[in-house]
Amino acid sequence: MFLTTRKDIKEIIDAAEKYQNIGIVGCASCASICLTGGSAQVVEMEQSLKKEGKNITFTISIDEPCDMRVLKEDMRFVEDNLENTDAIVVLSCGTGVQTISGLIKKKVIAGTNSKYIAKTEHIGEYSPLCRGCDECRLNFTGGVCTITLCPKGLLNGPCEGHNGIKCEVDEEANCIFMTSYANMKNFGEEENIVRIFSPRDHSIKTIKKNI
């Protein structure tokens, strides 16, 4: 799941200052689980904008606004309202915001901040597990991502600051390399602890359009 958090309403109002007629799009997928873009948050946003004197032209929750196919299908329900809409507030991750911006040639205002790919523990409690780096090493690290879970993003073993258990940067957290080694030992793969990973290839950040 892609974790999002709510933007300060003042930032949204500031971005919408020049626009009177506003539509609101929510995300019924990840943002709904995060309580940042579900139906209830769409209603809250509508009320907040109305207090600022804005005219709300439509509200809609889309299953996956990041999927152009779903977006095109669902936006047909409000296409008659789009002509009189000056701007659209989108309560989804940045991918959804940009997908809508690419489809609808209107001002699009992000209503959330995108954080990271996370595991859901409970509603409101999430654990970062993946940065989407495109160089997954989980097969050789005991199934844990040191790039994400080490505050220093280290690849080849812990820093000198750990005390054998706890992280130097976050003293409440265990050093992820200790967890990694414990998992390897449990799987009989201790030899992977001496595996040396080559430096990360940042050229892959030039994202390919087709896979």
Q: 163-197, pLDDT tens digit by residue?
A: 778 998 988 889 999 999 999 899 898 888 888 88
User: Cα–Cα distance between 114 and 193 in angstroms, integer?
Assistant: 33
Let me know if 77 is exposed, middle or buried by CB neighbors in 10 A (0-12, 13-18, 19+): exposed
- Residues in Cβ contact with 129 at an 8 Å cutoff, skipping those fewer than 6 apart: 117, 118, 119, 145, 148, 149
Residue 68's pLDDT band, with cuts at 50, 70 and 90, is: very high
Q: Cα 68 vs. chain centroid, distance in angstroms? A: 18
Domain boundaries, the chain: 2-115, 133-205
SS3 (DSSP) at 129: strand
| Token pair in block for residue 109 | 């205002």
User: Cα–Cα distance between 92 and 106 in angstroms, integer?
Assistant: 17
SS3 (DSSP) at 56: strand
Q: 113-124, pLDDT tens digit by residue?
A: 988 888 778 877
Whether the pLDDT of residue 209 is over 70: the answer is no
Predicted local distance difference test score (pLDDT) of residue 136 = 80
Predicted local distance difference test score (pLDDT) of residue 211 = 45
SS3 (DSSP) at 93: coil
User: What is this structure's pTM?
Assistant: 0.78
**Stretch 35-54: mean pLDDT:** 96
Predicted local distance difference test score (pLDDT) of residue 122 = 80
For the chain, the first-to-last Cα distance in angstroms comes to: 21
Whether the pLDDT of residue 47 is over 50: the answer is yes
CATH superfamily of 2-115: Response regulator (3.40.50.2300)
| Token pair in block for residue 39 | 């139906």
In the predicted model, what is the mean pLDDT of the chain?
89
**Stretch 143-157: mean pLDDT:** 88
Predicted local distance difference test score (pLDDT) of residue 210 = 53
Residue 190: CB atoms within 10 Å: 12
What residue type is assigned to position 118 of the chain?
A
